[in-house]
Amino acid sequence: MIVHFLGTAAAEGFPGVFCRCEHCGKARTLGGLNIRTRSSAIIDGTLKIDFPPDTYMHVLRDGLDLGLVRDLFITHTHADHLLASELAMRLPVFARGLDGPLRVYGHDAAVRVCRGALGRPDSERLQLRRIALFETADTGEARVTALPANHDPDETCLLFWIEKGGRTVFYGHDTGLLPAETWAWMAGRKADLVILDCTNGNLPFTGSHLNVEAAIGIRDRMRAEGMLAPAARVVVTHFSHNIGLMHDDLTAIFEPEGIIVAYDGMKLEL
């Protein structure tokens, strides 16, 4: 399994799209791994998580063939995670040479947003599928279970437990501290890769996103409760410009903990 991190920033990007703060200025000057687009990931080139407004940029930058993607799982409808109108570019006239539908999975709100943007699209191109909490979708290549996040009180936001080829990924953002129901479901299971929110860096914990301390705390609890497979890796991502931490700063914080700091374009093989 190859997990490809396409974007690793929070909603505003890093540097922020309009921002002129010192942190964004420093990121612009340094460039490289300090430039972060809105968060998304793709597994083995065929299973994608979220569809942010930077998706087209990801396609161009990383040479992606989105025509190969068969399954798209949406965590929630916030604008940095779902640009539903862009999915219309997979419909006839806009896209040619496709040999099967894209299955889009989300909870009620995500399906409604997609319906509002797309109506009822040609099922040979796009299929909208509601996935309920604790339901497992079998894509034929992977099994993906939707777990509750602690993020937006007005929407059911999802985290994903992804099993493929004998390896397991816990996709754990956007969220604050994990709900009790999510911990209960994960009991007795083991992840080879854990991907966690670190939106707030060293800033105080806010509840709907994690900071450094909270992310390390989740890793520690998963380790203590036997939820990490041997040689499991833990990755932090989804960083806000407000934290004022460049990539090297984040690495200095997390490297002693054995935690990997994601960057745009990073690939991990499990």
pLDDT in tens, 204-254: 888 899 999 999 999 999 999 999 999 999 999 999 999 999 999 999 999
pLDDT computed for residue 205 by the predictor: 83
Are 241 and 37 spatial neighbours (Cβ–Cβ below 8 Å)?
A: no
Instruction: Give dist(CA 147, CA 145) in Å, integer.
Output: 6
pLDDT computed for residue 206 by the predictor: 80
pLDDT computed for residue 188 by the predictor: 97
| Average confidence score pLDDT of the chain | 97
Percent of the chain whose pLDDT exceeds 90: 98
Residue 147 in this model has a pLDDT that exceeds 90: yes
pTM for the structure as a whole: 0.97
pLDDT in tens, 23-55: 999 999 999 999 999 999 999 999 999 999 999
Residue 178 in this model has a pLDDT that exceeds 90: yes
Query: For 72, how many CA atoms within 13 A lie in the half-sphere containing its CB?
Result: 28
pLDDT computed for residue 92 by the predictor: 92
Instruction: Give dist(CA 198, CA 234) in Å, integer.
Output: 12
pLDDT computed for residue 215 by the predictor: 98
**Closest among 128, 102, 105, 91 to 49, alpha carbons compared:** 105
CA distances 52 to 24, 74, 172, Å, are 20, 10, 17
pLDDT in tens, 71-92: 999 999 999 999 999 999 999 9
